[in-house]
Chains A and B, each alone.
Chain A
Amino acid sequence: AQKVTQAQTEISVVEKEDVTLDCVYETRDTTYYLFWYKQPPSGELVFLIRRNSFDEQNEISGRYSWNFQKSTSSFNFTITASQVVDSAVYFCALIGDSGAGSYQLTFGKGTKLSVIP
């Protein structure tokens, strides 16, 4: 069974502060894929990043960065110099590749980020 835990339900920060969203996962599959999605108030899910279990390199994309650590089963997401437009619900998600061909996405419960001007 797969599980994704986002312990932070809601976070509020003041604009320009850095913020880290935590994600811890559980899976028995040796091959798996991790994702972060952003859901703004309009409701659609916006894909942010994908990582596979073979690639532990951290990634930086503008103000966003991701820290993937297999040793602690974590895939944390940091926003640097937060902006009001970053206000959204952020979901961490996992697909395990057991070889059975299911590829079902397991979501965390989401973290609601509010950036206060």
Chain B
Amino acid sequence: EADIYQTPRYLVIGTGKKITLECSQTMGHDKMYWYQQDPGMELHLIHYSYGVNSTEKGDLSSESTVSRIRTEHFPLTLESARPSHTSQYLCASSESLPGGPTLYYGYTFGSGTRLTVV
């Protein structure tokens, strides 16, 4: 049973439209992430957040923006979609290390949003 939810699962949208990809988790994790995956498979970190009102850009420059107003919610917005934004977007969350390496389980990923901009 998924504890992190992404909607929509698939989205086809016209150039110039504004879109928001939703990501919510029910685990109370403080850290959340957005990855962009190109057709060549490689995963690129585009945004992350270590808590409410904290957002940072990742390794790959992205025209998208994110917000973290609530712990459980980390939406990604594209103000004006372009065909170059066509990709799969994966959201993830993780907890902070609770005090011992044997207890750290890493990231939990959502099912992803496949975005196609035409």
Which of A44, A89, A103, A107 interacts with B112 by CB under 8 Å? Answer: A44
**Contact residues of B between 60 and 118, Cβ < 8 Å to A:** 88, 90, 92, 94, 96-97, 101-102, 104-112, 114
Q: Do B111 and A43 have beta carbons less than 8 Å apart? A: yes
Q: Do B41 and A103 have beta carbons less than 8 Å apart? A: no
Q: Which residues of B contact A54 (CB under 8 A)?
A: 101-102
Known contacts A33-B106, A97-B97; A45/B90 CB under 8 A: yes
In the complex, how many residues of chain A place their beta carbon closer than 8 angstroms to a beta carbon of chain B? Answer: 27
Q: Which residues of B contact A107 (CB under 8 A)?
A: 42-43
Which of B42, B101, B106 interacts with A35 by CB under 8 Å? Answer: B106
Complex CA gap A89/B110 in Å reads 17
Q: Do A50 and B101 have beta carbons less than 8 Å apart? A: no
Known contacts A91-B43, A104-B48, A107-B43; A50/B106 CB under 8 A: yes
B13 at the binding interface (Cβ < 8 Å) = no
B: residues with CB less than 8 A from A are 31, 33, 41-43, 45, 48, 50, 88, 90, 92, 94, 96-97, 101-102, 104-112, 114
A: residues with CB less than 8 A from B are 31, 33, 35, 37, 42-45, 47, 50, 52-55, 89, 91, 93, 95, 97, 101, 103-105, 107, 109-110, 112
